[in-house]
Structure 1
Amino acid sequence: MVAIVNRLVDKMTFSSDDKVVPNQVSFSEVDSTEEIHRRRGSVTEKKNVDEGSQRELIATSSCTDDDTLPSIAHPMEKRILKKMDMYLIPLMGALYFLSNLDKSNIGNAEVAGLSKDLELKGKEYNVCVTVFFGTYILFDPIGANLLKIMGPPMMMSLCLLSFGAISLCTAWVKNYPQLLVVRLLLGAFEGMIYPAINMYLSVLYRREQYAMRFAFIFSAACLSSSFGGLISYGCSKINGSLNAWQYIYIVEGAISIGFVPFYVFGLSNKLEDTWCFTKEEKEYIVERYKTMSTFNPDEKFEWFQVKLALKDIKTWVSAVALFGIDLTTFGLTVFLPIIITSMGFTNVRAQLMTVPVYFLTAITFFICAVWSDRIRLRSPFIMGACLTTCIGISIVLGSQKHAVRYFGVYILCMGIYVNAAVNCLWLSGNNGNYFKRATALGVNLFLGSGSGLVSGQIFLKGDKPRYIKGLSISLAFQFSSLVLTFVQFLLYRRENIKKQKIIDRCRELDQPIPYNERLSDLNPEFKYMY
């Protein structure tokens, strides 16, 4: 064991100021003249620890006796968390709610007669579902970076106004080509919402704080599907000059546009400038940045961080796993009303039957997210959700009784949002630099959302009423995602073991623990969450 530790330390490259740099990145890539502005989560030489490092050391502990430094247990921390939870989380939840409402309404519109009125033939409906994801995946990586470039108020309000207007205008499309165009435009603006919200949370909260907050936001996706069913039911009762599916788009598009002012005036470019904070709280927030391992307000874009993310095998394992997870998520979101209709329910009743399914999904995800933060674990919840989804799909596939298949839908939907959301949170929290995280998340969502291109082509009209092909493919990919998540766990565990050996060896030799600002999570004292 000693020999192994010695070899690890021998492979370290020393910079001009005698600090050591982990050998994952060569010295020439890091720039020997780089000034280390702050120590994040590490201690400099034991006999000369600066004030910033002291803050870092204390903040990484869940509790401290020193109430003057920012930390999880600091009284001021609780005050600002309460205000963020009260004012900012509802805004993010509403944004995600509206995004999913406008994204998935084509499934409810189809049940309400969309294909019949537009005279869609063959696979034209499936193509309209699929092309949405063509632009959606292209703009996923863009959204994560635009958030920092444009600022949350401008970026989020512009996207909300755009996809709300596009959804509203969809009510007046007359044919297949026009529907294709609006779906492409809708995908472009909605593709930027999810990564922007994810990155925004990583700026607001510490790693161990934001799974529970994201539960509120991601539960909005579940509730939007339920709310979409209720809107569809209500629109089917309107006796007007337009068809029921047109009223669905009008109502949901108008709701989105109506929320725009809340984002224009309710958000700020910097958290400390938000209207709800007092002067004392703003000063605390500025100091708090120094104790957060995943955000530095002074970070500037550099291609070096993009390169680090793209070279990391864990980025790609996570992305491929998300592809398999999202294949079921996107397929069920769009096709669930149609699947329930095929069980013998009327079109109107099928809309209502989706409501309790998604409501249970939201409750399940919230419970899992709370416990994930509490015990600081991610992978068990992802693997458990994948297993639950596999069981649910198997029930729907294996039974021909409508009651049993509907029960299977409940089981599979309990997992489809847990595994997708926690997968992204896990990756985000394990990347330190903003732009490295944005790149890794962009790759993750690019492949994950790319499954939407496949889902629209595997749930075909010809496979009604049981959709054996689409569900079988989804089952195979869910199981592969379970395996890949376990592989990802092993990779993070291996890296943490290597880092601990380096730390132990440095302490044994009474040397400074290696640190470089640009290496962020690659530094030994940045411990990956499992």
Structure 2
Amino acid sequence: MEYAKPHDASVLDDYEPNTEEERKLVRKIDLYLLPTIWLMYLLSYMDRTNIGNAKTAGMATDLDLDSDKYSIALTVFFIGYVVCEVPSNMILARSKPSIFLPTIMFLWGCATIGMAWVPNYKALIGLRTIIGVLESGFAPGILLILSSWYKPEEQAKRFGVYISAAILSGAFGGLIAGAIEQNLDGAHGLAGWRWLFIVEGAATAGWSIIASFILLDFPNNTKRLSGRERELAIKRLQYSRPAITDDDKMGHLKALKLAVTNWRTWVFVVGYMAVVGSSTLSYFYPTLVLGLGYTSSLTQYMTVPIYLAAFVCTAANSIVMDKKPQYRGYALGGWMSLSMLCAIITCVVYNFQARYALLVVMASGLWASNALSLAYASTTFGSMDHEVRGIALAIVNAMGNLAQIYGSYLFPDADKPKYLMGFGVISGLCFTGVVSYLAMQLLLRRYPH
């Protein structure tokens, strides 16, 4: 890898920042990437989390699932998901996102449809494992794409848009689950929860085909931009951060070694594991809300305000943090502290209405932290070689999602209605996140490169 000074004239030639030409290019990049990625991720997250809606809609009864079996069904998804993330990004860094990502999306959409016909618990485990392996390439791939197209000061808003899809998928998932349970239950002899998998899986497979005609590849190989636009896209990134010459001859093993031996990777791993481990709470929103005493279908609708509040907080936070990127570590410490406080209070407050309000605030802090932590990692890794950056981001995302394996055991049925273990662990994870991101803020001031 060869590093160049950020403003080296020999590298940047006649580049001038923030021209009308550049603003027009950014709008064009946004138009190609953001709506496509947003809907892809919304459908991805719905396919990943719809098992929570299906559980309360009758799947647990039909397949004879107790809380241990349900936790295992959650866990097997993340085993394949975590193991395959890094290899997937190593492949993606040397291929075309417009082919790779829609292909795996189409396949997991078909597997989701297959969930509608699972006859028993073993079949459920098998398909959840397959979907986990297929989805493993999506999230780290999107992280690599966004970090390859946007300047550091542009990324918080874009990652906010990306994460908002996961947030709103929870809201839409609840609305769709409620509507399907009410209107399709028993249609053609299939239970409502089975129709949930059919509808959402078909939407995923259908959109993957459309996305393959829209999604951008990388700045140096996309065919959807002109030669001049590709040149400008590369120059503006070189200007905004320590320029780096990607080494196509580096090799996968050397790239992996550079990513693994960078201390920044592991500080972000600890912080993101805290964020994601705490966010496994989202899989239990329907279960926790059911404790309020609502009917099954109304429970699906009552999860919607949780996600809408999280969406507003994430959007506001992303806009502010692009204007004040130097304070991202402090902001993450603040959001995680807020969620930690709510988790602690929940352990001592047993009024369900009060707990619901605390759940709304807690979720807002965790979702805002999720989006900002990804933007923070992406910009910090900005000076890395293309493949090294892809591997580092995949490691952070993979290890972060490793937390979902033990997080899926935080709210067993035996702990209801107080769920003290779950909220106690979440408060501890939030504290770990606070320490990690504040440490990163201070360390990057001393060791910026």
Which bracket does the TM-score occupy, shorter chain normalised?
A: over 0.9
Identity rate of aligned residues, in percent? Answer: 26
Query: In the superposition, relative to structure 1, how do residues 247 and 429 fare at CA in structure 2: closer, same or farther (>3 Å)?
Result: same
Residue of structure 2 equivalent to 1:459: 411
Mapped pair 1:155 → 2:107: no
Mapped pair 1:495 → 2:441: no
CA distance in 1, matches of 2:302, 2:356: 9
Residue of structure 2 equivalent to 1:514: none
Residue of structure 1 equivalent to 2:257: 307
Alignment of 1:344-423 (within 5 A): 344-377=293-326, 378-423=328-373
| Residues 311-351 of structure 1: per-residue CA shift (max 9 Å, x gap) | 22222122112112111112x22111100001222211110
Query: In the superposition, relative to structure 1, how do residues 229 and 289 fare at CA in structure 2: closer, same or farther (>3 Å)?
Result: same
CA distance in 1, matches of 2:246, 2:330: 35
CA distance in 1, matches of 2:400, 2:24: 36
Q: Give ranges in structure 2 of 5+ residues lacking alignment.
A: none
Alignment of 1:407-486 (within 5 A): 407-431=357-381, 432-433=383-384, 434-486=386-438
C-alpha displacement of 1:42: 5.7
Provide TM-score, normalisation by structure 2: 0.93
Residue from 73, 77, 82 that aligns with 1:128: 73
> Are 1:105 and 1:249, in contact at CA under 8 Å, matched by a contact in 2?
yes
Comparing both structures, which one devotes a greater share of its residues to helix? 2
> Are 2:78 and 2:401, in contact at CA under 8 Å, matched by a contact in 1?
yes
| Residues 43-86 of structure 1: per-residue CA shift (max 9 Å, x gap) | 5xxxxxx532x65xxxxxxxxxxxx5242x12111001111122
**Whose RCO is larger (CA < 8 A, sep 6+)?**
2
Alignment of 1:209-248 (within 5 A): 209-237=154-182, 238-239=184-185, 240=187, 241-248=189-196
Query: In the superposition, relative to structure 1, how do residues 82 and 279 fare at CA in structure 2: closer, same or farther (>3 Å)?
Result: same
C-alpha displacement of 1:461: 1.1
> Are 1:290 and 1:296, in contact at CA under 8 Å, matched by a contact in 2?
yes
| Residues 362-392 of structure 1: per-residue CA shift (max 9 Å, x gap) | 1111111111111123112211110121122
Q: Give ranges in structure 1 of 5+ residues lacking alignment.
A: 1-33, 44-49, 56-67, 497-521, 523-530
Residue from 254, 259, 278 that aligns with 2:202: 254
SS of aligned partner of 1:266: coil
Aligned pair count? 441
CA distance in 2, matches of 1:297, 1:169: 45
Residue of structure 2 equivalent to 1:69: 15
> Are 1:206 and 1:294, in contact at CA under 8 Å, matched by a contact in 2?
no
CA distance in 1, matches of 2:220, 2:7: 25
| Residues 28-52 of structure 1: per-residue CA shift (max 9 Å, x gap) | xxxxxx8x5x724165xxxxxx532
Residue of structure 2 equivalent to 1:504: none
Query: In the superposition, relative to structure 1, how do residues 429 and 283 fare at CA in structure 2: closer, same or farther (>3 Å)?
Result: closer
Provide TM-score, normalisation by structure 1: 0.79
- The amino acid of 1:474's aligned partner reads I
- The amino acid of 1:437's aligned partner reads R
CA root-mean-square deviation: 2.1
Larger Rg: 1
Residue from 332, 336, 347 that aligns with 2:285: 336
CA distance in 1, matches of 2:28, 2:242: 21
C-alpha displacement of 1:153: 1.0
CA distance in 2, matches of 1:123, 1:286: 50
